[in-house]
Amino acid sequence: MMYKARRRLGLVFFPAFDWAISPTHPEREERLLYTQDQVFEEGILDIEGIREYRPRLASTGDVERVHICVPDVKSRTTESHLIAAGGAIVAAEAVLKGEVDKAFAIIRPPGHHSFRIVHGARGFCNINMEAIMLEYIRRHYGPKRIAIVDTDCHHGDGSQDIYWHDKDTLYISLHQDGRTLFPGTGFLNEFGGPNAFGYTLNLPLPPETGEEGFLYALEHFILPVLADFKPDLVINSAGQDNHYTDPITNMRFSAQGYARLNDRLQPDIAVLEGGYSIEGALPYVNAGIILALAGLDYTGIREPDYTPERVAQSPRVSEYIARLCDESYQAWQQRDTLREEYIQGKTEISRRRRIFYDTEGLMETQQETTRVCHDCGGVTWIDSRTDHGRHILAIFIPREACHRCQEEGHAIFDRSRAIDYPDGIYLQDRVEDQMLKK
């Protein structure tokens, strides 16, 4: 073959041609059909250094390392979810084993709207593919500092929830401002839990942000933060709905832009999230990302209807983004001081919130309490009720929990009474890598 990748790239392509949420739902069989056509027709899989991997099923244990599914994993997932999660794991393992330099999991359905507790589907997501992948990596390849850069147009509220208390996982999300788009979160003041304050970073971009704005945010916010954080691995949650043709968002990003972003960011692993312009965007964006990751010339990738005007942004948007980046970067630099102000000597910090499951049509209310801890992410317990009448207690002992937090978690589990939580008391013990339920 006449092309050779400068960086070896592993691809997991799982279009799930026989799975849909419903026949006309955006998350349907057809979604990656044209992407596959484009990737096949470009001959990308023949390129020396690009290798395609077959996905496999993730196990219940892989899911329970991240989620508490109510009542259990089996009833909250389909095989397609487990294959998408397993596909992400296969991609990551190819990198961790050194078989390839980078990997891209083009899988569906997506996962970044799935929280620690799963009562059902929200934002087309049931379980969180990246989180399941990352915790699998840590379990099998040792502790790692990991940065997730989420470039989906929707705030990755599930990924944020899962890593809210984890200082070793920096979660950065670029998305359309939550005042104008589902899920309505992802503001600057969502900054992480008491023991990981500053390790969740949100950059809510205004509608009509263009190519220039995204690349500005990358250069002036994301890359400087990553330079400070020094992760072992960078993950791109590669949602593609910032594209100017996306039917359910209002941004002005392009295939060239996504390719350049990945070229600059150079994530170790990219995982597809949303993106529903299945003909006009996905074929070109995915091809662009693949080429950028593999170190190949992507300058010829262009949408048929691309014009510079379609991706242009107004000066007002440019100024706004510059201010946003500035403010966010300052907050990141002052995260330790801000944490002191936030904790104010408390030993426990609680929050109460409502979580809407749009796909499922369900409302959950959570009362979450975290032990303030200087040694680990801190034990957290959540009293969770749904408007369908479900009521559980979920206890989370973090990875590398200190002895005290681990003991405290088990103590809460032991003393809580089934009569108070009719749908179960769950304990996720990441130290022991096990889930208990009573």
Partner 1 sequence: MYVGLDMGGTHTDAVLIAGGRVKRYCKTPTAPEDYLHTVTRALDEVLEDIATGEVRRLNLSTTVCTNAIVTGRTSPVGMLLEPGPGLNPAGLTCGAKNFILSGAIDHRGRPTSSLVATEIEAADKELRKAAIRHLAIVGKFSTRNPEHELQIKEALSPDYDFITLGHRLSGRLNYPRRVFSAYLNSAVASVYEAFAAAIKTYASSRQLPVEPDILKADGGTLSLAASRSLPVETILSGPSASIMGALALAPSSRDTIILDIGGTTTDIAFLADGVPLFEPLGITLAGYPTLIRALYSYSLGLGGDSCLRVRDGRLSIGPERLGPALALGGPAPTPTDALITMGRLDLGDKGAARRGLEQLGDQLGLTTGEVAAAIIKQMATEIASQTRALLEGINSRPVYTVREVLEDKKLRPEQVIVIGAPAPLLAAELEAAFGLPVVAPSLAGVANAIGAALSQPTTEITLQADTEQGFLTIPEEGIREKVQRGFNLEAARRRALAALQDRLRRLAPAAASAELEVVEEQSFNMVSGFYTTGKNIRVKVQVKPRVSPLEGDEHDV
Report, as residue numbers or ranges, the catalytic residues.
113
2 is an interface residue for partner 1 by CB under 8 A? yes
42 is an interface residue for partner 1 by CB under 8 A? yes
Least distance between partner 1 and beta carbon 95 (Å): 17
Least distance between partner 1 and beta carbon 103 (Å): 14
| Residues 174-213 contacting partner 1, CB under 8 A | none
14 is an interface residue for partner 1 by CB under 8 A? yes
Least distance between partner 1 and beta carbon 267 (Å): 21
21 is an interface residue for partner 1 by CB under 8 A? no
- The residue within the footprint of partner 1, chosen from 7, 21, 33, 220 (CB under 8 A), is 33
16 is an interface residue for partner 1 by CB under 8 A? yes
> ∠356-199-405 over CA atoms, to 5°?
85
308 is an interface residue for partner 1 by CB under 8 A? no
Least distance between partner 1 and beta carbon 179 (Å): 24
49 is an interface residue for partner 1 by CB under 8 A? no
Least distance between partner 1 and beta carbon 126 (Å): 14
Give the binding range for partner 1 (CB under 8 A) out of 31-39, 68-76, 195-203, 309-317: 31-39
Least distance between partner 1 and beta carbon 296 (Å): 8
Interstrand relation of 117-118 and 102-107 (parallel, antiparallel or unpaired): unpaired
40 is an interface residue for partner 1 by CB under 8 A? yes
299 is an interface residue for partner 1 by CB under 8 A? yes
- The residue within the footprint of partner 1, chosen from 52, 228, 326, 407 (CB under 8 A), is 52
401 is an interface residue for partner 1 by CB under 8 A? no
Q: How many residues bind partner 1 (CB under 8 A)?
A: 52
Q: Which is nearer to partner 1, 23 or 98 (CB)?
A: 23
Give the binding range for partner 1 (CB under 8 A) out of 180-188, 214-222, 276-284, 393-401: 276-284
373 is an interface residue for partner 1 by CB under 8 A? no
23 is an interface residue for partner 1 by CB under 8 A? yes
- The residue within the footprint of partner 1, chosen from 257, 274, 283, 398 (CB under 8 A), is 283
28 is an interface residue for partner 1 by CB under 8 A? yes
Least distance between partner 1 and beta carbon 22 (Å): 10
3-state secondary structure string, the chain? CCCEEEEEEEEEEECCCCCCCCCCCCCCHHHHHHHHHHHHHCCHHHCEEEEEECCCCCCHHHHHCCCEECCCHHHHCCHHHHHHHHHHHHHHHHHHCCCCCEEEEEECCCCCCCCCEECCCECCECCCHHHHHHHHHHHHHCCCCEEEEECCCCCCHHHHHHCCCCCCEEEEEEEECCCCCCCCCCCCCCCCCCCCCCCEEEEEECCCCEHHHHHHHHHHHHHHHHHHHCCCEEEEEECCCCECCCCCCCCEECHHHHHHHHHHHCCCEEEECCCCCCCCCHHHHHHHHHHHHHCCCCCCCCCCCCCHHHHCCCHHHHHHHHHHHHHHHHHHHCHHHHHHHHHCCCCEEEEEEEEEECCCCEEEEEEEEEECCCCCCCCEEEEEEECCCCEEEEEEECCCCCHHHHHHHHHHHHHCCCCCCCCCEEEEECCCCEEEEC
- The residue within the footprint of partner 1, chosen from 208, 232, 263, 279 (CB under 8 A), is 279
170 is an interface residue for partner 1 by CB under 8 A? no
Long-range contacts of 305-311 (CB under 8 A, 24+ apart): 305/245, 305/280, 306/254, 306/255, 306/256, 310/244, 310/252, 310/254, 311/210, 311/211, 311/212, 311/244, 311/252, 311/253, 311/254, 311/257
58 is an interface residue for partner 1 by CB under 8 A? no
Least distance between partner 1 and beta carbon 301 (Å): 6
326 is an interface residue for partner 1 by CB under 8 A? no
Q: Which residues contribute to the site for partner 1 (CB under 8 A)? A: 1-3, 12-19, 23-24, 28-30, 33-34, 36-38, 40-44, 46, 52-57, 78-80, 83, 247, 279, 283-284, 287, 291, 296-297, 299-305
